Structure 1
Amino acid sequence: MFPYLFEIGGFQVRIYSVMYLIAVLIALYFARKKSKKMGINPNHTENIVIFAFLGGILGARIYYVLFKWEYYSQFPLEIIAIWHGGLAIHGGIIGGIITAYLVGKHYGIKLFTFGDIILPFLLLGQGIGRFGNFANGEAHGVPVITPPSIIFKMQNIFPEFWHKVLNTLNLSNTPEGMSKLAEMIDKNREIIINFQGKMYELKEYVPWGISFPPKYNPPAYQEFGTLAVHPTFFYEMILNVIFASILIYFWKNDDNIGKGFITGLYLIFYGIIRFFVSFFRADDLMMWMFRAPHVASFVMIISGIIIIALKRRNI
């Protein structure tokens, strides 16, 4: 809700950037510590982390641009304007893996060894970074008045449902129009929507929704006005920290380093986390009628299972 810590001469120190800087420093500290213990040059590991981070940003941007090519083909200069937003985590993971493999090959450090060393803290860092999304008012969920039966669909029917809501209530698709709907909900008005032959009631289905004010004009306000939305950034933050704690437990045992077990678990864990959270997300990229993160997360889960199975068989 407050995107920057302070501003000097037009330059803003943004909370989002600070969160990821903290995440990288934590990852570097523990990666160096474990590398030294495992007889690996910590400077080499540090270089891989830095390059993988940069490769991850590049991959996240390329992934996002490809899915939004209809827009970026019209405004090519916007492709490099990452300060306007537009990074996709799955693209970041792909970019980070490719970069880590290439730089690690230069130093003679195997990808699974590096993965086992760093991935518990990557997952932790992803959780820390989600606080930056909260500060920016982005990566938010759908309004909490959305019926669960609309949310939990493999095919994303929310946009169609929301269009029906606005048409039924004769509301404009603007922050002001959405805010009027928020006022109607606050007054406990009974609102029934006929959608695809079924009747749905708009009401507060969970009490922990977050409403974003117009100050700073965050993406959540631009999309839903003052309607309370699912705090998906906190959903993912909590799950990331929980699963990162499990990975760190295995990371503490040096015998697990280099086996690919932690790497496989990371892919499975984050695949599960993102698959679940994506049901609630309002801004996910789409792949036909499906959410792109669902497809990517499914691939991650299967890949993690295969890695663990093959490594256990010493393949």
Structure 2
Amino acid sequence: MHPILFRIGNITIYSYGFMIAVGILSAVIISMYRARRVGISDDVVLDIAIFGVLGGVIGAKLLFIIAEAPYVIKNPVVLKDMIKGGFVVYGGLIGGVLAAYIYCRKKKVDFLKMFDVAAPAIAVAQGLGRIGCFSAGCCYGKETTSPFGVVFKNSPFAPNGVRLIPTQLISSLGNFLIAAVLFYFSKKAKHNGQVAGLYMILYSVGRFIVEFLRDDPRGNVLFLSTSQFICIFVFIIGVFVYNIHKLKRS
């Protein structure tokens, strides 16, 4: 709707980037507050945030290129443009979590406890980030006649002048609902990994469903989108992480 938020001289502030920044900042603040309650210092949260963001950017970019590999192979010249723009959210999540895991192993921080702390904050950040997607028009939905559809008029990504399913807002609302569930559940969870596991389960199910409504260019694995294919593994890993305390006792 408004891909460019505002300009200051020669500096352009884009809505998508701004909302991503707001999401990251919100996640750090929420994680700090929650981490103090379980004895994890602010320094650890900040370090993990820095490494997580770096890992997330690399992961999001790599998965984007992998998903578009057939097109890149046919047109190698587009790789230069892909390096400048284009990300896959799932790649960012995987890269960020992997970077956080490596940091926790090196610093002897309980990774599952830290993941439990951060999971609701990550969902909040994703919800804010999807508002950025809506502002830019990326990750758009299929054409619809529904009165709830949206028409983009100034998007560099979505087809303009066509009524589309607002998949960005659906995803945003879904992520905020997941965050609310996790905040509530975290007060009742009795074992490390349960909040993180529930996050992975809920997010993978929600993302799998929303993918059927999207119509933007994406990679595929057989009859599934790349993200849906990854959702299957994230769901399985989420169930494993949720029940990991049972395996430790056996």
Alignment TM-score, normalising by the size of structure 2: 0.91
Aligned residue number for residue 170 of structure 1: none
Classify the secondary structure of the residue corresponding to 2:151.
coil
- Compute the displacement of 1:282 (Å): 0.7
Identity across matched positions, percent: 27
| Preserved contact between residue 104 and residue 110 of structure 1 (Cα < 8 Å) | yes
Is there any run of 5+ residues in structure 2 with no aligned partner, and where? none
Aligned residue number for residue 56 of structure 2: 56
Query: Displaced runs of 4+ in structure 1, greater than 4 A?
Result: none
Q: Does 2:177 match 1:246? A: no
**Structure 1 stretch 264-273 or stretch 49-58: which is displaced more?**
49-58
Aligned residue number for residue 30 of structure 1: 30
**Structure 1 stretch 37-46 or stretch 135-144: which is displaced more?**
37-46
CA deviations 1:100-155 (Å, max 9, x no partner) are 011112221122111101011101110111110111011100101xxxxxxxxxxx
How far apart, in 2, do the equivalents of 1:287 and 1:10 lie?
42
Aligned residue number for residue 227 of structure 1: 162
Aligned residue number for residue 207 of structure 2: 274
Give runs of aligned pairs for residues 182-221 of structure 1, distance below 5 A.
204=145, 206-213=146-153, 215=154, 217-221=155-159
How far apart, in 1, do the equivalents of 2:240 and 2:37 lie?
28
Paired positions, count: 245
How far apart, in 2, do the equivalents of 1:243 and 1:35 lie?
19
Classify the secondary structure of the residue corresponding to 1:295.
helix
Aligned residue number for residue 80 of structure 1: 83
| Preserved contact between residue 60 and residue 90 of structure 2 (Cα < 8 Å) | yes
- Compute the displacement of 1:57 (Å): 1.4
Give runs of aligned pairs for residues 1-315 of structure 1, distance below 5 A.
1-73=1-73, 74-75=76-77, 76-82=79-85, 86-144=86-144, 204=145, 206-213=146-153, 215=154, 217-221=155-159, 225-252=160-187, 256=190, 259-283=192-216, 284-314=218-248
How far apart, in 2, do the equivalents of 1:8 and 1:41 lie?
37
Whichever residue aligns with residue 237 of structure 1, its letter is: S
How far apart, in 1, do the equivalents of 2:84 and 2:134 lie?
21
Is there any run of 5+ residues in structure 1 with no aligned partner, and where? 145-203
| Preserved contact between residue 56 and residue 95 of structure 1 (Cα < 8 Å) | yes
Whichever residue aligns with residue 290 of structure 1, its letter is: L
- Compute the displacement of 1:71 (Å): 3.6
Aligned residue number for residue 165 of structure 1: none
How far apart, in 1, do the equivalents of 2:168 and 2:104 lie?
32
Classify the secondary structure of the residue corresponding to 1:38.
coil
| Preserved contact between residue 56 and residue 96 of structure 1 (Cα < 8 Å) | yes
- Compute the displacement of 1:273 (Å): 0.9
How far apart, in 2, do the equivalents of 1:114 and 1:285 lie?
32
- Compute the displacement of 1:252 (Å): 4.1
Classify the secondary structure of the residue corresponding to 1:233.
helix
CA RMSD of aligned residues (A): 1.7
Alignment TM-score, normalising by the size of structure 1: 0.73
- Compute the displacement of 1:38 (Å): 1.6
